[in-house]
Amino acid sequence: MSFTRGGVSAKDALLVLQDASFFLGEGFGSDRTTIGELVFNTSMTGYQEAMTDPSYAGQVLTFAYPLLGNYGINEEDNESQRIHVKAMVCREVTSFYSHYKARSSLDEWMKTQDIPGIHRVDTRAIVRRVRESGVVPCAVARRDPSQSVEDQVRALQSTITKYRYSEIDFVREVSVPEKKKHVVQNAKKHVAFIDCGGKTSMLQELLLRGMNVTVYPYQTSAEEIMRDRVDGLLFSNGPGDPTMMKKTVATAKQLLAEKPLFGICLGNQVLALALGAKTFKLTFGHRGSNHAVRNLETQRLFITSQNHGFAVTDLPSDVLPLYENCNDGTNEGLRHKTLPIFSCQFHPEGHVGPKDSNELFDEFVKSL
């Protein structure tokens, strides 16, 4: 694939921000127009895993790393059954890919799932803008040759200003519609996986440890889960504002003294709210595979994978902070003083260490 025409750059796509500032670039993937919350990710690899992570639902994802698509798309690395980002923004996409598992190019894959993209834009400027001003609604669209750029930007802006990311229940869109049990031979225990938008690799970590796992929709009641005789619960990652998850928080609250509980990412926030803490929206979030976190019990440092736009604050007196973000000091996990409840804001299944925080799954299994 070539993104040039006659040797001249084909500036045929627009990234428009809420304040009508815009970036002209070249389109790839789908031709459709989409609206979402503009965020950025600092990872050097893992674009396939990131784009299929349900935590990105409702968001337009900018990659800070300049070249994407060089190892193509394979059939094994998806974190869910489809792409969840609303659109993709990057400096350069290549159609030439080289990897023994690859089956298609990034552009071809995005076309099949109707996901638009824009490249040949200044992603450094975009990242700086988000870091300084915070995440912001935006649109990605192909140029309309019947309009001037200014007229098209104004038309898109009127739609962008109506977008309210924090008012949309994205978890409803990404959670499983009904429960499903995964059975392994000689299972040791039975774990409830509360699917708020959980990643496939997270489920696999439990199955690899000899757990039968039942995946539940995020609004499943505590009574139904207890009827299935589970030994513990994992609350998964997912998209959106945790304060919208009132039924999930209520379920966690009912089970605080009943079973061991483990939360990851959004699951950390759900457990925090159930325990009486609060959450707030970060200016630009933590998204990437190079975030340093300190274990406050051991002072050990981890390099972690993260993808979240909200954080926990105001822990009650019976809950201890377990991890701290080394960059901004925000909470990265908690532990209850007396109950078998703990959580982390980062992704221990992310394998960026590659396995230095993987032990959290072992700790959860031992608590059952």
Q: Does residue 347 have an active-site annotation?
A: yes
Residue 333: strand pairing partners: 323, 344
- Using alpha carbons only, give the angle 20, 31, 76 rounded to the nearest 5 degrees: 110
For residues 268 and 244, the answer to whether their CB atoms sit within 8 Å is: no
The length of the chain is 368
User: φ, ψ for residue 88 (rounded to 5)?
Assistant: -125, 140
Residue 192: strand pairing partners: 214, 233
For residues 203 and 195, the answer to whether their CB atoms sit within 8 Å is: no
Q: Does residue 265 have an active-site annotation?
A: yes
For residues 73 and 109, the answer to whether their CB atoms sit within 8 Å is: yes
Only one residue has tokens 């975030």, namely 291
Q: Which two tokens stand for residue 149?
A: 């750029």
For residues 287 and 41, the answer to whether their CB atoms sit within 8 Å is: yes
For residues 57 and 169, the answer to whether their CB atoms sit within 8 Å is: no
Number of alpha carbons in the 13 Å side-chain half-sphere of residue 51 = 26
- Residue 364's Cα: distance from chain center in Å? 22
Contact residues for 69 (Cβ-Cβ < 8 A; gap 6+):
47, 93, 94, 95, 97, 105, 106, 107
For residues 41 and 64, the answer to whether their CB atoms sit within 8 Å is: yes
From 84, 286, 308, 347, the catalytic residue: 347
Q: Which two tokens stand for residue 14?
A: 């627009």
Of the candidates 290, 286, 339, the one whose C-alpha atom is nearest the C-alpha of residue 311 is 286
Peptide bond into 316 cis (omega under 30): no
Only one residue has tokens 């609004």, namely 219
For residues 171 and 218, the answer to whether their CB atoms sit within 8 Å is: yes
Number of alpha carbons in the 13 Å side-chain half-sphere of residue 64 = 17
From 265, 291, 308, 336, the catalytic residue: 265
Write out the catalytic residue numbers.
265, 347, 349
